[in-house]
Amino acid sequence: MRFGALNLIWLFLLLPILAILFRCAWLRKRQAENLFADRPLWERLRIGVSDFKVSARPVLILAVTALLLFSLLQPRWGYHWEDVTRLGIDLIVAVDTSRSMLADDVKPNRLALARREIEDLAHLLKGDRIGLIAFSGSAFTLCPLTLDYGAFRMFVNDLSVTTIPRGGTDISAAILKAIEAFGEGPGKHKALLIISDGENLAGDYQAAAEEAKKKGVKIFTIGIGSPEGIPIKLTTPEGTSYLKDREGNIVVSKLDEAVLQKIAVETGGAYHRATTSGLELELIYRDRIARMDKKELESTRKKVYEHRFQWPLAVALLLLVLESIMGERKWKGLRWWFLLREKE
């Protein structure tokens, strides 16, 4: 036997409380009877009252209460098999892990904000497969498409600027790696979400976006950072310093929205700039990605247990009807039987 609402079992504590209340009521009634008349006289006055019925009524009420509480637990036994088809979208998230993502023009920094937003996105998914790609000078699939959202979040938490050894930023590499991860087949259910500051330092992102369009992959982009830019702060054992180029000049990392917008427009996706609220990812998923055509991701047979709450509920109703019509008078048949016994 299984229960659908076992968390309500604490309601059974009402039964002993109700029993105590009945006991107290009986004692008070007994005291009132003793004050009204002595016991022999009282017995003659209530000659038509059934002691059995008087005692049975609180028992019936307790039984009805117990059965109603048992029904609330949603008991289930017996089962049947159902064919279950899971429909969903294939979504790959590509995250920029270049050193420019350490810029703190958004707090605490660009990469930390990206990790937090992806965590929130994972909680929105219902039946969609999701994968994770990290990219900088090259791209690598950290988590292939999966329905295990817990494993996906573990890979997201491990993202850092040291995930990809090769420096630089190659958005085209991320797009081509995602196309490879999606595999062959129609692409109406395939979406790629790129989170980056848009500073494309290598590769032909336009050619990669055109290839994604041919495969039916829609690309949605999130720009993270500020257009004004900020020096990239580095923390080392020796202290805090700023990233410099080969000539010794401090590198100022700026959000390049133009690149990200072009990629999104080319494939029929959408672009949003990241904010500390993180609502843009939720907006893209609910309004665009979740409404894409879905494909069959999984087909299985599921054991479905039968609900049986109606059985104890029906018995409770019968007992309640019995209690309401029973009254406290002796049954007439038994009364005549007792009178005949007295005459003998």
Residues 253-266 have pLDDT tens digits of: 778 788 888 888 88
Listing DSSP states for 133-198 in one string gives EEESSSEEEEEEEES-HHHHHHHHHT--TTSSSS-S--HHHHHHHHHHHH-SS--TTEEEEEEE--
Give yes or no for residue 336 having a pLDDT over 50: no
Residue type, 30: R
User: Two tokens at 201?
Assistant: 């330092």
Q: Coil, strand or helix: which one is 76?
A: strand
Confidence of residue 131 (pLDDT cuts 50, 70, 90): very high
Distant-in-sequence, close-in-space partners of 293: CB < 8 Å, separation ≥ 6: 188, 189
- Give pLDDT, residue 94: 92
| Percent with pLDDT over 70 in the chain | 78
Give pLDDT tens digits for 282-334.
Answer: 888 888 887 777 766 655 666 777 888 888 888 888 888 887 777 666 655 44
234-261: average pLDDT: 70
Where along the chain do its domains lie? 2-74+309-343, 85-299
Residue 10's CB is within 10 A of a number of other CB atoms, namely: 7
Q: What number of H helices and E strands is found in the chain?
A: 11, 13
30-69 per-position pLDDT tens digit: 777 777 777 676 666 666 666 667 777 888 888 888 988 8
Q: Are strands 271-273 and 218-223 parallel, antiparallel or unpaired?
A: parallel
CATH class of 85-299: alpha beta
Average pLDDT of the chain to the nearest whole number: 79
Q: For residues 322 and 183, what is the distance between their CA atoms, to the nearest angstrom? A: 68
Among 11-15, 75-79, 106-110, 292-296, name the most confident range.
11-15
**β 239-242/233-236 pair status:** antiparallel
What confidence category does residue 159 fall into, taking pLDDT thresholds of 50, 70 and 90?
Answer: confident
Burial of 63 (0-12, 13-18, 19+ CB in 10 A): middle
Predicted pLDDT of residue 301: 64
pLDDT band at residue 275 under the 50/70/90 scheme: confident
Residue 328's CB is within 10 A of a number of other CB atoms, namely 14
Worst-scoring range by mean pLDDT, 15-24, 130-139, 146-155, 246-255? 246-255
- Distance from chain centroid for Cα 177: 30
DSSP letter at 202? S
Give the number of other Cβ atoms within 10 Å of residue 324's Cβ.
10
